[in-house]
Structure 1
Amino acid sequence: MQPQRRRPGAGFTALHLVQPVDGGVARVVLDLVEAQLEADVRVAVACPGEGPLAAAAARLGAEVHGWRATRDPGPGLVREVGQAARVVRRVRPDLVHAHSAKAGLAGRLAVRGRVPTVFQPHAWSFEAVGGVTGRLAGHWERWAVRWTDRVVCVSDAERRTGERAGIHASWSVVHNGVDVGRFGSADGPSGSADMADTTAARAALPPLAALPPGTPVVLCVGRLCRQKGQDILLRAWRQILLQLPRARLVLVGDGPDADALRAAAPPSVVFAGAVPDTAPWYRAADLVVLPSRWEGMAVAPLEAMASGRTVVLSDVDGARESLPPGHEALCLVPPEDPPALAAAIGALLRDAPLREAIGRQGHQHVLSTYDVRQTARAIADVYREVASVPRPERREPIPQ
């Protein structure tokens, strides 16, 4: 007779195994942690100690366990798997939720089906690399579903990408969400961008405080890395300056490509670095751009739209789903196409009434579709379904 599994709520323990400690993945994890703690779930987070995630999760009230893991697979994998297994034995979770490729790799090797396991890729690893490494990543994902009770994708497009790669999993699609109160409150109930509010937001941010009134400001929020495509944006930016020489581009975030991007950037580009709160930066911007090479569904555009700002996105997984219907022609461009990106940005910067109308529509779209509370409820439903399935009596042991 199988033991009864505990359901999410009081007495249920969820362990989040996470490698990225900043950016959108960290934001998604923290939103889930907060919602689960409010539902009386015992929440543990295992992640690297550097970066904001560990401290923020501890402030919310989660148990935090150090997990020294790098983003890429390598010789440290055996140690990372062993550490993950020790955390699992210490926490004794009812469910393990592994976020991103590295956590999905190490976590599933550590648990090997002994504990209900949810894997959330947050964009597929095999999209990030080519050649032999990409083929190995795809092979692993196809093989690892044997130890995966549910794969959670943040967009239908991300799920379809997995299916095209031959991954035959039990799927759930749970869109990312944002705290619409936090990002949508400053500009009033409509979420529209008001000149006085924008000016006040800029005055409170030292890198923008001295800008003359009416200066066009384009914002890109994301880790400074190849995935997010800031190098593509810099190539487009030189074309934009030919049309709008007073414009300013602000890059919020840090990452491995920071030095190379600084070396390639003209003086009109502001590097703000990593910031504790992105909301004021959205309010200070006229337009928000994310020229990613690949995504699952990026969080930054949702935050921007919640703030009433129009977005321009590369047409990668999740981008179309994040936009209101009918915005694709104006707000989507082909990936890795600087001229198309420059044309879209320039057209929207020159047409303030159109930009503001799109911003209002985007705000209402996010309020109705991408509220983080809906995301938390959907994940709770996934946990409930996964935890209620009887476990096979014979499972591989968790490594010592």
Structure 2
Amino acid sequence: MNIRDVEVIAPNFKRRLSGVTSTIIQLLPLQARTIGIATMGPDVLPRDVPRLPYSALLALWSRPARRRHRIWHARRNVEMLAGIVLRDVLRMPLKLLFTSAAQRRHTRWTRFLIRRMDAVIATSSRSASYLDVPARVVMHGVDLERFRPDGELPAGELADRLAGRLVIGCCGRIRHQKGTDLFVDALLAVLPDHGDWTAVITGRTTPEHAAFERALRGRITAAGLEARILFAGEVPDIAPWFRHFDLYVAPPRNEGFGLTPLEAMASGTPVVTSDAGAFAELVVEGVTGRVVPAGDADALGAAIRPYLADAPLRAATAAAALAHVRVHFALEREAAEIAAIYDTLWAD
């Protein structure tokens, strides 16, 4: 991209896939239709995400063609710090914007950085409640073209094994924080009573959590459910799996925002979630799914059980979930609300 055309830089200084990275991957190509925007960082993002090389930093003393200054839209501490150095030390014409998804009080260091931002976005009302500065709430949206009820289904050996089965899914990295063990505990309690259901857990297990996964597999085998609670590992595209799931469960103990319930609901799948992250603000309790206290495997199992036995309940919940996401959580709505904040910063 020509640096003169770049009005917003949304840095991504992390190599591994995360919720923040997923947001950038989905949002930037849409934003780029109307705004000169690009990311900057390790070359790990898909090619349709506009990006600048690090060498472009040298050109940030110049102003963009249509604006008095650029916006540096950070989503992590290191990206806020970089923006502060560029603006306050190197005196580049930048306005700094930070998006906070944290569901806890920030550390002193993070609060120091946030106070130096020109504007702050919170991804939920809960996130905003932990901030010491004014913030505009802009909840994440979901790509309704990619996540929809009709479309490609999973293929391969695992999908073949699931033919004719009802499937309950859980997605995310395999670790204590994500509540994978809570999901397993809930299934050990409810699956023996519902022989037509199989569970699929997708997500990567990093080396430091390998023992955690082994322990889960041991408990599943001891219960005689190793053929009905399956670990799929990291899948290349999660969207077909959301369409394949008959029920989706998001059980994390803590979460920043958490997109997977939205992606499942947009795929026409009812959800059961913990109240971590923004889940309680995404799910309409008893209408588009159920929300239970984080860390409570018994409550999780009790919320799952009715869906396993009641096909009309699943169908009604799925229809309500799909309508809810399409009205309130389209990615275009998120992009428009962020664009309004950009306009405010440019007008200042």
TM-score range, shorter chain: 0.7 to 0.9
Q: How far apart, in 2, do the equivalents of 1:141 and 1:23 lie? A: 19
Q: How far apart, in 2, do the equivalents of 1:33 and 1:244 lie? A: 43
Q: How far apart, in 2, do the equivalents of 1:360 and 1:159 lie? A: 30
AA aligned to 2:247 is L
Q: 1:239 to 1:366 in 2, by over 3 A?
A: same
Equivalence for 2:8: 14
Deviations 1:204-223 (A, max 9, x none): 2431212351x231111223
Does the 8 Å contact 2:25/2:49 carry over to 1? no
TM-score (norm 1): 0.73
Does the 8 Å contact 1:155/1:318 carry over to 2? yes
Equivalence for 1:305: 265
SS at match of 1:312: strand
Does the 8 Å contact 2:199/2:229 carry over to 1? yes
RMSD between aligned alpha carbons? 2.6
Shift of 1:243: 2.3
Q: How far apart, in 1, do the equivalents of 2:148 and 2:168 lie? A: 19
Q: 1:12 to 1:63 in 2, by over 3 A?
A: closer
Out of 226, 229, 238, the residue aligned to residue 188 of structure 2 is: 238
Equivalence for 2:139: 175
AA aligned to 2:310 is D
Equivalences for 1:83-122 in 2 at 5 Å?
88-91=57-60, 94-104=70-80, 106-108=81-83, 110-111=85-86, 113=88, 115-122=94-101
AA aligned to 1:303 is E
Q: How far apart, in 1, do the equivalents of 2:309 and 2:18 lie? A: 30
Q: 1:349 to 1:261 in 2, by over 3 A?
A: farther
Equivalences for 1:128-167 in 2 at 5 Å?
137-160=106-129, 162=130, 167=131
Does the 8 Å contact 1:222/1:228 carry over to 2? yes
Q: How far apart, in 2, do the equivalents of 1:234 and 1:292 lie? A: 12
Identity %: 28
Equivalence for 1:60: 48
Equivalence for 1:294: 254
Shift of 1:316: 2.1
Deviations 1:258-279 (A, max 9, x none): 5234311222332222223211
SS at match of 1:251: strand
Q: How far apart, in 2, do the equivalents of 1:273 and 1:375 lie? A: 30
Shift of 1:88: 4.0
AA aligned to 2:272 is V
Deviations 1:235-256 (A, max 9, x none): 2221123323553221222143
Equivalence for 2:162: 211
Does the 8 Å contact 1:15/1:91 carry over to 2? no
More helix by share: 1
Asked whether 1:274 is paired with 2:262, we answer no
Shift of 1:95: 1.2
What is the aligned residue count? 323
Equivalence for 1:201: 153
Q: 1:103 to 1:294 in 2, by over 3 A?
A: farther
* Greater relative contact order, per chain length (Cα 8 Å cut-off, separation 6+): 1
Out of 251, 255, 267, the residue aligned to residue 201 of structure 2 is: 251
Asked whether 1:357 is paired with 2:316, we answer yes
Deviations 1:65-86 (A, max 9, x none): 47xxxxxxxxxxxxxxxxxxx8
Q: How far apart, in 2, do the equivalents of 1:296 and 1:61 lie? A: 23
Higher mean C-alpha deviation, range 307-316 or range 177-186:
177-186
Does the 8 Å contact 2:287/2:320 carry over to 1? no
AA aligned to 1:62 is P
Q: How far apart, in 2, do the equivalents of 1:309 and 1:29 lie? A: 24
Give 5+ residue unaligned stretches, structure 2: 62-68, 221-225
Shift of 1:96: 1.0
Equivalence for 2:345: 386
Q: How far apart, in 2, do the equivalents of 1:101 and 1:206 lie? A: 42
SS at match of 1:207: helix
TM-score (norm 2): 0.83
SS at match of 2:45: helix
Equivalence for 1:394: none
Equivalence for 1:3: none
Shift of 1:374: 0.7
Equivalences for 1:330-345 in 2 at 5 Å?
331-345=290-304
Shift of 1:87: 6.5
Q: How far apart, in 2, do the equivalents of 1:34 and 1:226 lie? A: 33
Deviations 1:293-320 (A, max 9, x none): 2224311110100000001110123112
Deviations 1:173-227 (A, max 9, x none): 111111112212507xxxxxxxxxxxx835x2431212351x2311112233343
Does the 8 Å contact 1:324/1:361 carry over to 2? no
Does the 8 Å contact 1:153/1:296 carry over to 2? no
Shift of 1:40: 4.4
Equivalences for 1:69-88 in 2 at 5 Å?
88=57
Deviations 1:314-364 (A, max 9, x none): 012311211236538x51111001111111112211111101101100000
Shift of 1:142: 2.6
Does the 8 Å contact 2:97/2:119 carry over to 1? yes
Higher mean C-alpha deviation, range 333-342 or range 140-149:
140-149
AA aligned to 1:98 is A
